[in-house]
A = this chain, B = another copy of it.
Amino acid sequence: MTQAIKIGIVGYGNLGRGVEKAIKQNPDMELTAVFSRRDPNGVASEAKAVHISEVDQYKDEIDVLILCGGSATDLPEQGPELAGRFHTVDSFDTHAKIPEYFDSVDAAAREGGKVSVISTGWDPGLFSLSRLIAESILPEGNEYTFWGKGVSQGHSDAIRRVEGVKNGVQYTIPKEEALNRVRSGENPELSTREKHLRECYIVAQEGADQAAIEKEIKEMPNYFADYDTVVNFISEEELKANHSAMPHGGTVLRSGLTGENSKQIIEFGLTLDSNPEFTASVLVAYARAAYRLAQAGDQGAKTVFDIPYGLLSPKSAAQLRKELL
């Protein structure tokens, strides 16, 4: 083993903590420091905690910064700002704004001669890769993405804003019947309602009108109105005991035709006990790739589409050909 790849984590929420755990599973990497906007004394990492304002002092001690902030406000600012000074990896996941984000990070990274891998994780990330290769192999076909079973943060936030709701969690659940129709090669046209079910676990405030809460949720435009939605009222204790984990996952299918009429189905699926820990593990693998691209003299913003899989593994190209091809 040559020297370990030295990682810095920016942001220490669920994702940042997941990255710290993932680094421990990769002997060719080590965590140098965690950077936070909070008081470093409040950061419960095993590594050194440093205020983000001092990040530039670590330019020579860190090979790759993994940016673990949110896509709404943190990354649009931090991404381009840090890309000029460090090699970075992030999981920017606002799909509609990826082109714009790519351009701003790319400009900064090129100016600083750095490599930045943006928008990795599983969607965008592994699911995007699956869509791309499946479409390239089966140009005549349809693509289907099913999400879940898993907690949707956006929908959970939406139900918690409903009057009379004290707490709540929303699960997105793919409908087996629709999945099986796709897997059979039927190539169905599926409505939003046919693909996913939404299931809510609600803790109501004392004396709240449960029927009114249920009605408001089920009729909420964009979030629930187009879906079959199930609303369950439970106690705060039950919510904590049974609905605190962050499972997620999903399935990307492409159903296509080749030759005269041969049905060909490509399926990629994830079943995740912990969404943030899995995303963190993907970020760490792409940090290795970023480091290697940089070592090879590359620069600028990259996405998962630009990076050969061989760079994700600690193994050499010859070893990969021998063991995994």
A interface vs B, CB < 8 Å?
18, 21-22, 25-26, 95, 98-99, 102, 119, 124, 126, 128-129, 131-133, 135-140, 183, 185, 249, 258-260, 262-274, 277-278, 280-282, 285, 288, 303-310, 312-314, 317-318, 320-322, 324-325
What residues on B are CB-neighbors of A263 within 8 Å?
A: 271, 273
Are B98 and A325 within 8 A (Cβ)?
yes
Are A267 and B269 within 8 A (Cβ)?
yes
Question: How many angstroms between the C-alpha atoms of A269 and B281 in the bound complex?
Answer: 22
What residues on B are CB-neighbors of A131 within 8 Å?
A: 324
| Distance of A259 from chain B, by nearest CB (Å) | 4
Smallest Cβ-Cβ distance to A313: which chain B residue: B136
What residues on B are CB-neighbors of A308 within 8 Å?
A: 305-308
Question: How many angstroms between the C-alpha atoms of A262 and B139 in the bound complex?
Answer: 37
What residues on B are CB-neighbors of A133 within 8 Å?
A: 126, 129, 285, 309, 312
Are B321 and A305 within 8 A (Cβ)?
yes
Q: Which residue among A102, A274, A310, A321 has the maximum number of chain B CB atoms within 10 Å of its CB?
A: A321
Are A132 and B312 within 8 A (Cβ)?
yes
Partner of A264 from B140, B185, B258, B274 at Cβ < 8 Å: B274
Task: State how many copies of this chain the complex holds.
Answer: 2
Are B270 and A258 within 8 A (Cβ)?
no
What residues on B are CB-neighbors of A303 within 8 Å?
A: 310, 320-321, 325
Given A98-B322, A281-B138, A282-B137; A22-B124 close (CB under 8 Å): no
| Distance of A1 from chain B, by nearest CB (Å) | 14
Are B26 and A309 within 8 A (Cβ)?
no
Question: How many angstroms between the C-alpha atoms of A126 and B280 in the bound complex?
Answer: 24
Smallest Cβ-Cβ distance to A92: which chain B residue: B325
Q: Name 6 A/B residue pairs within 8 A (Cβ), A-sorted.
A: A18-B259, A131-B324, A135-B324, A262-B273, A265-B269, A305-B317
Extra contacts, 10 of them, besides A99-B321, A137-B312, A305-B321 (Cβ < 8 A), are A18-B258, A25-B140, A99-B318, A136-B313, A137-B285, A262-B272, A262-B273, A265-B272, A266-B270, A269-B269
Question: How many angstroms between the C-alpha atoms of A185 and B131 in the bound complex?
Answer: 25
Q: Which residue among A131, A305, A314 has the maximum number of chain B CB atoms within 10 Å of its CB?
A: A305
